[in-house]
Structure 1
Amino acid sequence: MIVKPEISWTDFEKIDIRCGTIISVADFEKARNPSYQLDIDFGDLGIKKSSAQTTSLYGKEELIGKQILAVVNFPRKQIANFFSECLVLGFYGEDKKDVTLLTPSLPAKNGMPVG
């Protein structure tokens, strides 16, 4: 396993990770790898769009209402014909295809920051 270079506390403080609730899920047919298009409610930050390669472990129906963690201060990124506004966090399985979402262990208010 490769360990990334050490970062400073200041570097970490620049990352804005928030809790949000997935409110809609659609198939992302133009993505290179099987993915969903997500609409995520971040409370006072509003609703942001993201794509997520979670199709092998999660069905669309089970993602609706699921709370997730995401980085919300990246610039928008175009993926095919879609603009992703945040990065949903998860970790890869051994084959790099199965992505398990990071979720709060208890319900949290949408938009709450990780600290």
Structure 2
Amino acid sequence: SRLKGKLASSCWRSSGSCSGPAGSGDSMSRHSKLQKQVLALYRQFLRAGQDKPGFIPRIRDEFRENARIKKTDVMHIEYLYRRGQRQLEQLRDANTKQLGSFSKPKDQN
């Protein structure tokens, strides 16, 4: 299951804090509405996964992997965001013990 962590990659690859461009004077960087939604989804996943052993590393890995998606690929980002919302609901279910994963095969050219 691919989640949408694309937009926050520069924030949490380093120290986990976001700052504006060098010399900008801003203490926070500006994010688009979609970026803010993805960041909020990521935080919700981390909170929901706290009580389930092994979920936090998996959540981080999924978001980091999807951080490679180009910011201009908005349709794909929105698709993964909606998919992530559905998966979050499943994760919040007390009966959920593991998350499934689907991946498409590498190009076979």
Note whether the superposition's TM-score is higher than 0.5. no
Q: Which has the higher contact order (CA 8 A, sep 6+)?
A: 2
> Larger Rg: 1 or 2?
2
What's the TM-score, normalizing by structure 2?
Answer: 0.29
What's the TM-score, normalizing by structure 1?
Answer: 0.28
Higher helix share: 2
